Each structure stands twice: as structure tokens, then as C-alpha cells.
Amino acid sequence: MKTIDIIKGIHPGKIVERELKKWNINQRQFALSLVAHPQTLGAIIKGNRRMNVDLSLKIEEKLELEEGFLMTLQVFHDIKEAKKDSAYKPDFAKLRKGIFWDTDFDKID
């Protein structure tokens, strides 16, 4: 089984965080060496921000990762999130319309 198959759906920031710990590199100084804002790298590592192509190429070069690896992870993470968001469909049939007399159920999305 390939490594990418094992870690599909994981945010690339988690991999960057693991690599920084493995190499014993300070996150802030690493971000500055990439000519990136430390807050940007921190948000990516926390999973609050998407990885962009330019930054991923810089990180991959510095950490000696395969080119395109982090962006591939980002795409798989986006797919996982999209599936999770589209999976929830509320069942309005279980609601009693008498209670919500002023609501048009056909207009609720």
C-alpha cells in the first residue's frame, strides 16, 4: 500500500507539523526561511487554512518531500470535506407542520 493511500484525507498541515518535529525545526523560523508569514504557516498546521501551491513547493523543497505531495494531500482533504458537507440532508418529514405553521418547508435548503 502506498503512503498516499494511508494518509488520504489528512490535512497537509499535519504532515508539515510532523516533519518539523522530526527535523527539530522551529515553526516560526522555518516560516521566515520560506519568506512566509509565521501566522500563515501556523494556520496551515492547525488546519484552519488551505495549503497553496507556492508555499507547498517551498516547503517540499526545504523538507525534501516529493514535489506535489502536499497539494495532493490538500486535494484529498478537500474531497473528504466536500463529501462530509454534502452527506447531511435533514428529514423535514419528521417535523410536525402544525408547530411550524408559518414556515414553507419547500423553501428550506
- We report the CATH number of the domain holding residue 39 as 1.10.260.40
All three cell numbers of 39, joined, read 501566522
pLDDT, mean of residues 74-103:
80
Residue 49 burial class via C-beta count within 10 angstroms: exposed 0-12, middle 13-18, buried 19 and up = middle
Reply yes or no on whether the pLDDT at 109 is more than 80. Answer: no
Domain count for the chain: 1
Host domain of residue 30? 3-107
Helix 12-23 and helix 38-46, axial crossing angle in degrees, nearest 10:
110
pLDDT band for 1, please (50, 70, 90 cuts). low
Distance CA 109, CA 39 (A): 36
Q: Say what the pLDDT of residue 100 is.
A: 73
